[in-house]
Structure 1
Amino acid sequence: MTQGDMPPLARVTTHDAPGRPRDPLVEPRALTAALEIYGQHGWSGFTMGRVTMLARVGKSSIYRRWPDRVELLTAAFERTALLFELDDSRVAGLPFQEQLLTMVQHRLYTYTTPTGTAIIRLQVEHHCGPDEVGEIWEGTLSRFRSGLRVLLSDAHITSRLRPEASPELLAEALEGCMIMQALAAPFPSVSTANVSEQSFALVKQVVAPWLTDPMTIQAAARPLPPIIGESTRTMAAPAGEDSEAMPR
């Protein structure tokens, strides 16, 4: 039977038969691996090869999506910024004190993950690194720092904070305390329970003295679990890997 004699469906199948389907988890694995590699090695040690090895994906799969390491790391931090924005939007309807505690918990928890290590490194390297690193920070994580400032500024406007309080300084104090907590603790020994306790202590010590009403939330409060967590750290390659061969 010639090609012209084949039924239409058979001709389409023969001509357009695809290879193995593209793995939808390649991108999240690669972006998660990119953050972990950057957090461990910094910009000078951040290479596409290291990312492909950790993510267990083929080099062609990486380069097909991101032609160079600047675009890859930008995409990884953009995804992180979007996850933080989504996290913040989930708690927008909570009472102020609970919303503040939840946001602090989510940030402190994230700081104890490989994603947090990458965030801390980028906040340092964008001041002293090459222009590319500064542009990555400006286009992605500069938004991440605005969440607590906006919340505390709104609380100041609505008189939940005393008139003499500075929302900007309180936000910076919380961020600085969280970074120090993450750097001082031996990674990755901080548990979710410890993070909850530390978050409550930070809010109580840093913000509570500036509240117009006493704190009503309790130390045992367990706010919403953060989106950034164990699910964003999975590296195991599932069956049906992307059509490109994985590096050996």
Structure 2
Amino acid sequence: MDSTTETPERRGRGRPRDTRLQEKIEAAALSVLARHGFSGLTLERICVEAGAPKATFYRRWPTPTACVMDAYGRVWSEAEYKDTGDPQQDLEAFGRKLMQLYGHPLLGPCSLAIQSESRVNPGVNERLQSRALQRRTRNTATLQAALDRLSRPPALSAALILNALNGVARNVQTLRWPVSDGDFSLLIRSLLSPPP
């Protein structure tokens, strides 16, 4: 046999995983958490809502908490800063994505439940902080690379720009403090302004 020929990957026993079923179970976990909090986040409720047997659940996650944390992380993975070469437009798009996520019908209640649980449950806190830090590190590095290409870099660091934008997006959606499109564009131009 030629040593450069790849050996086909062997499939495990049983049927291949159905990604749609996994997404359905994760959506059910978020829905149960949003309605019942961590005290009501049970395997039975998740499986009934997803229409999935317990054995299917256990092939993917050891606990309902592990499932809901994966689901929560997957939704938040959409909050990625994309560098197209125009920091103004890219930050506007990123800020609007943050607003959309903060306005997600399940994410708001789930965020409150997860943040509260993270104060008393070290495992939840570790997963929450780890994923948030990874996402923030990636976004900061991508934005910083974009800012480094500007002829006059802004006075603020990439991390501070992202903090400010995140705060505004959260306030717009969770506190219902409206910001017009014009004001939002002005805010981003201000965040990108070079030092005086």
| TM-score where L is the length of structure 1 | 0.58
CA 142–24 in structure 1, closer or farther in 2 if over 3 Å, else same: same
- One-letter amino acid matched to 2:172: Q
Structure 2, gaps ≥5 residues long: 1-13
Which 4+ residue blocks in structure 1 deviate beyond 6 angstroms?
A: 19-22
Q: Distance in 2 between matches of 1:142 and 1:47?
A: 28
Contact 1:36/1:118 (8 A) holds in 2? no
- One-letter amino acid matched to 2:39: S
Paired residue for 1:99? 90
Q: In the TM superposition, what are the counterparts of 1:26-45 in structure 2 within 5 Å?
A: 26-45=21-40
Contact 2:161/2:191 (8 A) holds in 1? no
Q: Distance in 2 between matches of 1:20 and 1:162?
A: 53
Contact 1:125/1:133 (8 A) holds in 2? no
Percent identical among aligned pairs is 22
Q: Distance in 1 between matches of 2:63 and 2:102?
A: 27
Q: Distance in 1 between matches of 2:182 and 2:57?
A: 41
Q: In the TM superposition, what are the counterparts of 1:225-240 in structure 2 within 5 Å?
A: none
Q: In the TM superposition, what are the counterparts of 1:1-248 in structure 2 within 5 Å?
A: 24-85=19-80, 88=81, 91-117=82-108, 120-121=111-112, 124-125=115-116, 128-146=119-137, 148-159=139-150, 162-185=153-176, 201-205=183-187, 207-212=188-193
Stretch of structure 1 that moved more, 137-146 or 27-36: 137-146
Query: Which of the pair has more CA radius of gyration?
Result: 1
Q: Distance in 1 between matches of 2:183 and 2:30?
A: 29
Question: Post-superposition shift, 1:177?
Answer: 1.5
Contact 1:37/1:46 (8 A) holds in 2? yes
Contact 2:30/2:106 (8 A) holds in 1? yes
Q: Distance in 2 between matches of 1:20 and 1:167?
A: 46
Structure 1, gaps ≥5 residues long: 1-18, 186-193, 214-248
Aligned CA-pair RMSD: 3.4
